[in-house]
């Protein structure tokens, strides 16, 4: 069975600081990995996704994520956080069987 773990329920960073949100997955085959962001009152929006190939993927809004098979991780990073990045971030894993699983999310607070 697939599963996704986001160990950090809540993270606070200062504006301009770097950010890393952790995600660990459990899946027997090559996973299809996603990061979505949910802002207050907004729907979920895709930040980036990984299927195969280059393990460092670039997304929107300056985000990137690195797939590490040996660690079963797909951590999200951003070099310099902006106040508008405050939101809930969800890691997710999908498969060709059309099953899709989200983690429990990490809430990001940005301090001015």
Partner 1 sequence: GAGVSQSPRYKVAKRGQDVALRCDPISGHVSLFWYQQALGQGPEFLTYFQNEAQLDKSGLPSDRFFAERPEGSVSTLKIQRTQQEDSAVYLCASSFTGTGGTDTQYFGPGTRLTVL
Candidates 17-25, 55-63, 75-83, 88-96: pick the segment binding partner 1 (CB under 8 A).
88-96
The reply on whether position 25 binds partner 1 by CB under 8 A is no
Residues 40-79 that bind partner 1 (CB under 8 A): 41-46, 49, 51
The tokens describing 54, both together, are 């280059």
Which regions of 24-98 does DSSP assign to beta strands (E)? 24-26, 32-38, 44-50, 56-58, 64-68, 73-78, 87-94
Q: Residue 104 region, left (φ>0) first, then alpha (ψ -120 to 50), else beta?
A: alpha
Question: Residue 98 interacts with partner 1 (CB under 8 A)?
Answer: yes
* Residue numbers at the binding site for partner 1 (CB under 8 A): 4, 6, 32, 36, 41-46, 49, 51, 90, 92, 94-105
């Amino acid at each position: 069975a697939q599963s996704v773990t986001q160990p950090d329920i809540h993270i606070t960073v200062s504006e301009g600081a770097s950010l890393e949100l952790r995600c660990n997955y459990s899946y027997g085959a090559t996973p299809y990995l996603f990061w979505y962001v949910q802002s207050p009152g907004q729907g979920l929006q895709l930040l980036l996704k990984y299927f195969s190939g280059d393990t460092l993927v670039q997304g929107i809004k300056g985000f990137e994520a690195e797939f590490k098979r040996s660690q079963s991780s797909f951590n999200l990073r951003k070099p310099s956080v902006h106040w508008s990045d405050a939101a809930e971030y969800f890691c997710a894993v999908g498969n060709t069987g059309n099953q899709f699983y989200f983690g429990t999310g990490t809430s990001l607070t940005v301090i001015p």
